[in-house]
Amino acid sequence: MQEQNVIINQVFKGEIFTAQDIDFVSSKLKKITFDKGDIVLNANEKVTHQYYVADGCLRTFFIDISGKEHTLQFAVKDWWISDYTAFFEQNTGILTIECIQKSTLYKIFRTDLEEVYAKVPQVEVHFRKKLEKAFASFQNRILGNLAKPAKERYLDFIKTYPDIEAKIKNYHIASYLGITTESLSRIRKELVRKL
- Using CA atoms, how far apart are residues 27 and 139, in angstroms rounded to an integer? 35
* Stretch near a second copy under the rule CB under 8 A, chosen from 9-17, 18-26, 35-43, 145-153: 145-153
Beta strands in 10-135 (DSSP E): 30-34, 39-41, 49-55, 57-63, 69-76, 80-81, 95-99, 103-109
Binding to DNA by residue 32, rule CB under 7 A? no
Choose which of 151, 158, 165, 167 interacts with DNA (CB under 7 A): 151
CB atoms within 10 A of CB 16: 8
Q: How many CB atoms lie within 10 A of CB 87?
A: 18
CB of 119 to a second copy, least distance (A): 15
Tell me how far, at minimum, the Cβ of 150 lies from a second copy, in Å: 12
Q: What residues from 166 to 185 belong to the interface with DNA (CB under 7 A)?
A: 169-171, 178-185
Q: Please, are residues 172 and 74 in contact by the beta-carbon 8 Å criterion? A: yes
Contact positions vs a second copy (CB under 8 A) = 62, 64, 68, 70, 72, 84-85, 88-89, 94, 128, 131-132, 134-136, 138-143, 145-148, 175, 178
Give residues in contact with DNA (CB under 7 A): 149-151, 169-171, 178-189
